[in-house]
A and B are shown apart, each in its own frame.
Chain A
């Protein structure tokens, strides 16, 4: 299996503050990769560097075999991203946001968007400003999935979703992965990693440790958090 994500020695700092230090990571095609770690450990910095939102100091990132800086546009055409907090243009309707995302990508996603909205029970007639946090997340899922990307990058996707929606969300991920997609899932929820991920890594204090297996128990998992708090 080819590597869909290949990060080598990624370092990013914010002035004097630590971001991530010497992070290396590989995610294979067809994987659902769990990306764990306490708040401020560097998960979002890693993801945001992959997405090109941050300009990293050193190292390299290859996504779908392409350079994350030089080939950013080509990469983004094949990536579905969901940020930890879903924000859209308040004055737009849900249907307009979904269509706008598809239009910018230059693809006709109407059928897939309709299917996703039905599965996730998204009311497309409402204005964004009328939506709850969870419903905005659902719109974000539709925008990330409607173009059937090769790679999904989800940053804490299930926060705000009710249990039924969480189940639908993971069912959708599994369906796309079965069709050849790959998924990187940043989360705090250990059960999600145990249940759905095929491999996992944990970040702490800006450094990454690969886990032998995503099936780790609560005590082992919490140890990472406790050690971080003690160090802090």
Chain B
């Protein structure tokens, strides 16, 4: 099992580096742009915070984008939220199905390793990759604060990145379940799943009727503006997230173990 895990990690290393450096790099660039935009942002901040539901949706009613905290939460928060969820969805969607799609399944499944162990090794690989992605991005964002000479709000920052990790794991788990049930990689569906979750959250914050059900989506508990403004944690969302993650992973184990494998 260890060998399968290490092989998966090695084969996905390039993807991990490309995505984490791209998303983290864009986030870092955004942070570095803050000092050059500081003056203009101050003028825009008032206007942005008075745009009603639009301001609510993007967290600009609770945090001023004229501050580094507010700027980070609204700008980098959107980049990292979307980038991270798409990365998690993409790697998880192909993790199991690629063996059948690329016809390598007959090689790996003719080895003396049970399907459950293979699923476990691959699930572990996804977890390590999502964690590494979060750590690399966190380091890059922290570097941005240091470069600007701004104080990093450590507690909020760690909470935010932790919640983002949890959210990415939830999306990855759902896509891992899809991957277990399919012999073709559904990258399009996986990316669609991530974008739908984001859209649901944005819509939920604009439409009052949906707001009550916002906790169903994974973006509910990882919202940067809420975390950086010190709002109450969305406990219901976290519980739903943990339940969905657990059920999706259990489904992947159960279904993959019982189904026919394509040649």
Q: Which residues of A contact B (CB under 8 A)?
A: 14, 44, 48, 51-55, 72-77, 79, 81, 83-91, 100-101, 103-105, 140, 143
Contacts and interface: CB of A to CB of B under 8 A. Distances in A.
A101 B7 CA distance: 11
Interface of B: 3-4, 7, 11, 102-114, 258-261, 263
B261 A73 contact: no
B104 to A, nearest CB: 5
Nearest to A72: B114
A100 B121 CA distance: 15
B263 A83 contact: yes
Contact of B113 (A75, A79, A90, A104): A104
A143 B103 contact: no
Given A73-B112, A73-B113, A100-B7, A55 B258 contact: yes
Contacts of A75: 112
B261 A54 contact: yes
Contact of B112 (A44, A77, A90, A140): A77
B112 A55 contact: no
A76 B112 contact: yes
A55 B259 contact: yes
Contact of B102 (A73, A81, A87, A140): A87
B146 to A, nearest CB: 37
The interface centre, meaning the residue of B105, B112, B113 with most chain A CB atoms within 10 A of its CB, is B112
A89 B107 CA distance: 10
The secondary-structure label for the interface of chain B is loop
Nearest to B110: A81
B109 A104 contact: no
Given A48-B263, A72-B114, A105-B112, A81 B106 contact: yes
22 contacts: A48-B263, A53-B106, A53-B109, A53-B263, A55-B258, A73-B114, A76-B112, A76-B113, A79-B110, A83-B106, A83-B110, A84-B263, A87-B102, A87-B106, A87-B107, A88-B107, A89-B11, A89-B104, A100-B3, A103-B3, A104-B3, A104-B111
Contacts of A77: 112
A91 B260 contact: no
Q: Which of A72, A100, A104 has the most CB of B within 10 A?
A: A104
Most A CB within 10 A of own CB, among B3, B110, B113, B114 = B110
A184 B3 CA distance: 29
Nearest to A89: B104
A87 B103 contact: yes
Contacts of B109: 51-53
Given A48-B263, A51-B109, A84-B263, 19 more contacts: A44-B263, A51-B110, A52-B109, A53-B263, A55-B259, A73-B113, A73-B114, A74-B112, A76-B111, A77-B112, A81-B110, A86-B107, A89-B11, A91-B11, A101-B107, A103-B3, A104-B108, A104-B112, A105-B111
Given A53-B260, A53-B263, A54-B261, A76 B110 contact: yes
Contacts of A76: 110-113
A96 B102 CA distance: 18
B260 A143 contact: no
B243 to A, nearest CB: 29
A48 B110 CA distance: 10
A74 B113 CA distance: 9
Contacts of A104: 3-4, 108, 111-113
A45 to B, nearest CB: 10
Contacts of A87: 102-104, 106-107
Contacts of A52: 109
A105 B199 CA distance: 46
A140 B110 CA distance: 12
B231 to A, nearest CB: 46
B127 to A, nearest CB: 21
Nearest to A81: B110
